[in-house]
Structure 1
Amino acid sequence: MKHFKVNQNQTNQKQVFGFKKCIATCAMLFSVWFVLQAQTVRYVDNNQGAPTASGLNYTSVQAAVNASAAGDIIYIQPSPNGYGDINMTKQLSIYGLGHNPSLNAGQVATVNNILFRSANASGSKISGLNIYGIYLDNGTYDNHDIVITNNRIVYVAGNSTTSKANNVIISGNFFYHDSSVAIDNVNSQNWIISNNTFTRTNAYWDYEMFFRFNNTTLFNNNIVLSHQNGDNNQRIEIFRSCSGTQISNNIFLFRGTSVSNFNLGSNSALNFQNNLTYGFNSTLDALSGTNNIDNADPQFVNFVQNSSLNNSNNDYHIQGGSPAENAGTDGNNLGVFNGNYPFSIRGYPTELPYLTDFVIYNNIISAGTSLNINVKANANINN
């Protein structure tokens, strides 16, 4: 835990409001960390009353992207206003504060689509944002080694060409969608999809979550929650047109009725190992594969019934004595904390410090007087 005390003289304002100061202090904290890095750091803030664009400060993410050099870092401030699409044109690291933060009145940095379609942006990292779609589907440019972590996402699309968007890591994210596919691997190679949570809220039986996974795709250590009801044969579709995929150490939860089988779809040779299934309102057939645990409550430390998987009151650590305890292929617990992965239900990027407490003792002041702030923050997990 790090503690900060900031005294700031105000010479051009008679009133200072806590939200704006919280935003500024977040930038200060991240600057302290980023100054140790070699890359240029740019800040984007489209809040009402935010400073106009100048120097390294921007109101548009795309303007910051266009001004950056390969390897630079962009930090996007939480805002009630969306930031639109991002067209990736080079290798960049783009960070938000987290997709479900405890401060800033829960505000997040929201972007629409992140498009890898105009240049080689291999090695880019996206973290801590609220995102609709990430598209790695351009057939002209290489976009390998992309890291997508600690975001709230609706959809990620791979590439139809086997040589254009490979070695992608998708981890620590919260996927939430009503009806569409969550991840479409297409023909991309060597994707690792691990330590994420996935929620499908629509009850219809054939709205698959995972599409066109191949034999180079690893789907491990995830928690999947489906609200789908079974068809006339008590089947639902989770995977579709997937072939040869390794599926291990996951927890599959089902809230729908009349569900006995979730492997409906044109799949082949899926390798289910050391997974757990549990139906809240139905009994599932034994899962094909080896060392799977059927119809067993995973016994999370805390799970709020009928809540979203990103409910901050949920705790997906496994209780002692749970059937998921030490049940993984590696002898560790099943689910998102497998292998001591630093899963954050709030989506805090592991590279950044994050605020845990922010108190302004005199939030309305006269010009020339001191602003007294007490800030507490956790150091970034990587350090």
Structure 2
Amino acid sequence: MKAKLLLLAFTISCYQVFTQDLIAVQNGGDPIFYEDLSEAIKKSVTGDTLFVPAKNYVVNDTIRKELHIIGEGYDLTNNLGATILSSKNNTTPMLVLEEGASNGSITGIRFSVNKSGVYSRNIFSVTELNNYLIDRCFLSLHLYASNSLVKNCILSNTTIQAKITSVLSNNILVGNGYALSKCSIRNNIFLVMSDRYNSLNPNECNIDNNIFPPNYRIWYPVNCSLRNNLNISLNGVSGDNFGSSNFDSDLVLNETFINYTQLNGIDNNSANFQLIANSSFKNAGTDGTDLGIYGGRFPWKDGSAPFNPQIIFSEIPGTTDENGVLKIRIEVEAQKN
């Protein structure tokens, strides 16, 4: 009996070592494991979920089916590491989303920085998608999608075009160039001062509860509603725009948040984007919650770990105790949606 248990312990231990660095593809049954992410994407079928462990992957793949890709997070300071996707040539998207990819999702991925240009953004959708989710990622994005949601991400150079309203909510925007059409833009933080065409360029958008640097100039909004935002001005207008209850402040960003001085504070986790204790922007949103990423419907999750449980500690002894019991200790960690 003990020999069998020892064999079981050895098997469990080997299985864990063997699978912890492999990509698991699952759709209700037993998982299938792959070493190569491109192969996993190619061989998966509609509705599959791909669990992608923390390490570096080089990909330039096209997705034409509903897939749910879940990494272990983008935080480089995480004890588990980060799931990082890079491009083979640094000029083309890591993932191109085409017809058939609707209803899919990408969560917990860090995309490496590509060269500038709309066609080199990390994720690029060619045809209109519907009901797509991008959550807790670090990326640049060109998304043509309706009824979709981008939340709790760190974003640069992003374009979202929608026929039916999509939502950009509770994100940190760290670069220039945001062309957004028919979007609800809520509870985001814009960290880089921009002017003219490098700033936010919205068309038929609802813009609520966001925080901008002082004197941030939104570039030619067209038929937009702007409510309860901090520090905005308009660089030209077109069509009918509506604004109410917006706030002007002389406070720079490092006087608005508990701790923020420069962009690298995002990556080393020294930044804290909670509003200072006596801030007049607490509970000042259209829904009675704070301005910025900790208010609204999708409050920021510190650490930005994916929602699925992650193994943070495991202890599997090589022998049983005096009663023939093999005591296995496994600790997991997850954040709520």
The interval holding the TM-score normalised by the smaller chain is 0.7 to 0.9
The number of residues matched between the two structures is 300
Structure 1 residues 375 and 24, CA, compared in 2 at 3 Å: closer, same or farther?
farther
- In structure 1, distance between residues paired with 2:158 and 2:282: 28
Give 1:134's match in structure 2, choosing from 123, 144, 153. Answer: 123
Q: CA deviation at 1:261?
A: 4.8
Mark the runs of 5 or more structure 2 residues left unpaired by the alignment.
1-7, 88-93, 112-120, 236-241, 321-326
Q: CA deviation at 1:236?
A: 7.5
Give 1:158's match in structure 2, choosing from 143, 150, 159. Answer: 143
Aligned-pair Cα RMSD in Å: 3.7
Structure 2 residue 239 is the aligned partner of structure 1 residue 289: no
Letter in 2 for 1:116: L
1:342-353 matches, cutoff 5 A = 342-350=299-307, 352-353=308-309
Structure 1 residues 226 and 325, CA, compared in 2 at 3 Å: closer, same or farther?
same
Q: Give the equivalent residue in structure 1 for 2:129.
A: 143
1:1-80 matches, cutoff 5 A = 8-9=9-10, 39-40=28-29, 42=31, 56-79=32-55
**Tell me, what secondary structure is at the counterpart of 1:9?**
helix
Q: CA deviation at 1:380?
A: 4.0
Contact in 2 for aligned 1:302/1:313 (Cα 8 Å): no
Mark the runs of 5 or more structure 1 residues left unpaired by the alignment.
1-6, 14-19, 43-55, 160-164, 177-181, 201-207, 255-259, 278-283, 363-367
Q: Give the equivalent residue in structure 2 for 1:249.
A: 209
Q: CA deviation at 1:189?
A: 3.2
Q: Give the equivalent residue in structure 2 for 1:167.
A: 147
Q: CA deviation at 1:198?
A: 0.6
- In structure 2, distance between residues paired with 1:67 and 1:239: 39
Q: CA deviation at 1:301?
A: 6.0
TM-score in terms of structure 2 length = 0.74
Q: CA deviation at 1:24?
A: 5.0
- In structure 1, distance between residues paired with 2:158 and 2:335: 28
**Tell me, what secondary structure is at the counterpart of 1:331?**
coil
Structure 2 residue 258 is the aligned partner of structure 1 residue 302: yes
- In structure 2, distance between residues paired with 1:76 and 1:379: 15
Cα deviation digits, residues 112-157 of structure 1 (max 9, x gap): 421112x41110010000125211223xxx5211101100002x22
Give 1:198's match in structure 2, choosing from 138, 161, 173. Answer: 173
Structure 2 residue 274 is the aligned partner of structure 1 residue 317: yes
Structure 2 residue 69 is the aligned partner of structure 1 residue 94: yes
- In structure 1, distance between residues paired with 2:12 and 2:244: 69
Letter in 2 for 1:77: P
Give 2:97's match in structure 1, choosing from 116, 135, 143. Answer: 116
**Tell me, what secondary structure is at the counterpart of 1:63?**
helix
Cα deviation digits, residues 278-331 of structure 1 (max 9, x gap): xxxxxx869982111112457666323124334423232234321210110111
Q: CA deviation at 1:82?
A: 2.3
- In structure 2, distance between residues paired with 1:291 and 1:11: 59
Q: CA deviation at 1:65?
A: 2.1
Structure 1 residues 376 and 302, CA, compared in 2 at 3 Å: closer, same or farther?
farther
Decide which structure has greater strand share: 2
- In structure 1, distance between residues paired with 2:290 and 2:193: 24
Q: Give the equivalent residue in structure 2 for 1:275.
A: 229
- In structure 1, distance between residues paired with 2:30 and 2:212: 40
